[in-house]
Amino acid sequence: MSETVTAPTGVKLGAVLAFAIVAGTLSWALARPGLVGAQASFFVSFACLGLATAMAAPKLIGRRIAALGLGIGNWKTGRWLLLAGIPVALLVGFLSADSPALAAEYPLGPVTRDLGSFLPHALGYLVYYVGFEFFFRGFLLLGLQERLGARRANLLQSVLAVIIHAGKPISEVAAAFPGSLVFGWLTLRTGSIWYSVALHWLVGASLDWYIIGGP
C-alpha cells in the first residue's frame, strides 16, 4: 500500500544520505554507556535513530512513517520466518557469548539474571532495537527501495549499519554486514520491521543473558 506524500521521484537521495550520516554519527557519539549510562544510552539512540527519523522521513522520503514498515505487513509469511528465526537467534546469542571480546563489551551496564535487574535492561534494549530497525530497515531500506531497487537499498543500509558499529569488537563488526542483509531481506519479504526487531532483540538480549550466566 502506497501512502505517498510527494511523488516517488521527489525522494531527495542526497538529503537522505546526509541525514543518515548525521543521525548515525549522533547516535554513535552520544549513545555511549560511559557518557550517559547504560539504560539512558538505549533511549538516546532511539531518539537519534527513531524519533528524529520519524520527524524527517515524510519530507525526505515522501512517505508517511506508517508506510515505512510500522504495520504488521505480510504476517502469514512473517510468522513462519519468525518461528524459524527464533532458535537461530538464540543459538547466535549462545555461541557469541563464548567470545572474550564480546564478553568484555556486554552487557552495557551492571545487570544480573534476576528479573528485577534483567527485565528493565531487556526492555531498554527493545526500545533501542525499535529505533535501530526503523532507521535502517524502515527509513533507508523500505524508504529507498522504489528509488534504488530492493537489492541496492538493502546493500546501502547494510553498509551504513556496518559503519555505525565502528569501535565494537571485530567479530560484531564482521557480523553486521551479513546480519543486516538478512534482516533487510526479512523486512522486504514481510513489508514490516517488527520481525527484524524481534529477532535482532532476541540476539542481543540472549547474548547478555548467556554472558552474565558465565561458562
pLDDT digits (tens, 9 = 90+) for 129-157: 999 999 999 999 999 999 999 999 999 99
> How many Å apart are CA 207 and CA 130, to the nearest integer?
18
Give the pLDDT band of residue 10 (cuts 50, 70, 90). low
Give the pLDDT band of residue 5 (cuts 50, 70, 90). very low
What pLDDT, on a 0 to 100 scale, did the predictor assign at position 215?
58
**Residue 63 pairs with which residues in a beta bridge?**
4
Lowest mean pLDDT among 58-62, 116-120, 152-156: 58-62
pLDDT tops 80 at residue 1 = no
Count structural domains, the chain. 1
pLDDT tops 70 at residue 164 = yes
Q: Is residue 46 part of a domain?
A: yes
Q: Phi first, then psi: what are they for 72, rounded to 5°?
A: -75, -20
pLDDT tops 90 at residue 214 = no
> How many Å apart are CA 130 and CA 150, to the nearest integer?
21
Mean pLDDT for 80-107 is: 96
What pLDDT, on a 0 to 100 scale, did the predictor assign at position 62?
87
Domain around 23: 8-213
Q: Is residue 92 part of a domain?
A: yes
pLDDT above 90 covers a percentage of the chain that reads 88
What pLDDT, on a 0 to 100 scale, did the predictor assign at position 3?
41
What pLDDT, on a 0 to 100 scale, did the predictor assign at position 199?
98
Q: Is residue 3 part of a domain?
A: no
> How many Å apart are CA 7 and CA 26, to the nearest integer?
30
Give the pLDDT band of residue 8 (cuts 50, 70, 90). very low
Q: Is residue 181 part of a domain?
A: yes
Model pTM score: 0.92
Block residue for cell numbers 572474550:
100
Q: Is residue 165 part of a domain?
A: yes
Give the pLDDT band of residue 11 (cuts 50, 70, 90). confident
User: Can you read off the three cell numbers belonging to residue 176?
Assistant: 553486521
